[in-house]
Amino acid sequence: MGDFERRVLRLVAEGKLTADEGEELLRSHERGTLRDLRAVVEDSLSGVGRVVREHTEPDVQELLRAELPESEEPLELRVDGDFGLTLMPGEEGLCRAVWSVGRPFFGEVPPPPDVRLEGRTLRVEGRARYGFGIGIPFVGYTLDVYLPPGTRLGGTVAQRLGRVRIDDLPVETLRLDTQNGRVQVEAPSIRDLQVASRNGSIEVSAKDAGKVRVEAYNGRVALRGALQDVDAMTRNGRIEAELKPVQGGRCRLQTLNGAVELELARGIACKLTAETVHGPISVDMPDLAVEEDVRDFSRRRLRGRTSGTDGEIEAELSTTNGAVRAVQRQR
């Protein structure tokens, strides 16, 4: 018995091929008829594809549909789970929560989380184990929450697994914590936002933002918009900030292993401090007045100022292992 025959018999024993498919493969191999062999393989692949589709097309279930009257008070979030979470605008005066669950190849489908609206407090609690699929890392579970447009968000969101996304809803005072998952916040306005992630990128974008605090352990950090007071730190990952004009702005970007890049619009007055131990410092600010430029074997440090009439910002950029870059562009 050759290697081909042994492989076919093993696939049959494992249930990946039926006995008839295995017999046809062996006959085709023996006859050397490529057409018959291709037909059997295509039939087998189509069967696998059907199984994969069955296990990746999610089952959808509405967990909550409740009235949420317009109010000046923010919606208080109390979320504790390990599934993907998205908060986005929906219908006026209505709060909806939709649960989507894939069917894992191994293990049981977990029960949906408990979702309750108590006055101006939205509570979500639940644990969802992630199942493995053939050729697919995870078959995941997500909760999509639709809120009246303009609903301001507050409270806390704590996730162990799964991404967190806020799409086009204003943020009042909110804390987002995730251990493993991407965090994305795209808001028209932010008053006070704190984001912490152990493994996963963090992206924050706002047209108007007050205080933004970001802390990551492993992952890229990207910040965009008119952010007044920014403090971003990561241990392993790149930090990018693209900031629009504000008055009296402050920006502190710090990483241990990774590059730091700041991009400002031309015309913003900037007080700049850039520092790295292992890596270059690159500054493209046409009217920068350099106050300090240290370049020796132990560190590289540059301080300077630019003038401008379109807002002002104080920026501190630092890394241990990586490049530091600051640039001003005409927009």
Mean pLDDT by 10 residues, the chain (331 residues): 68 74 68 47 49 56 92 94 91 93 60 92 78 42 92 93 90 93 94 94 95 94 95 95 89 96 91 95 92 85 91 94 91 61
pLDDT at res. 205? 96
Q: Is 97 exposed, middle or buried (0-12, 13-18, 19+ CB in 10 A)?
A: buried
CA–CA gap between residue 68 and residue 237 (Å, rounded): 40
pLDDT at res. 38? 46
pLDDT at res. 40? 46
pLDDT at res. 130? 47
pTM equals: 0.78
**DSSP assignment of 163-183, as one string?**
-EEEES--EEEEEEEEEES-E
pLDDT at res. 146? 97
Contact 40, 28 (CB under 8 A): yes
Within the chain, residue ranges assigned H as helices are 3-13, 19-31, 34-56
pLDDT at res. 28? 63
pLDDT at res. 331? 61
**How is the chain split into domains, by residue range?**
3-56, 58-168, 201-331
320 to 106, 125, 200, 278: CA distances (angstroms): 44, 40, 21, 6
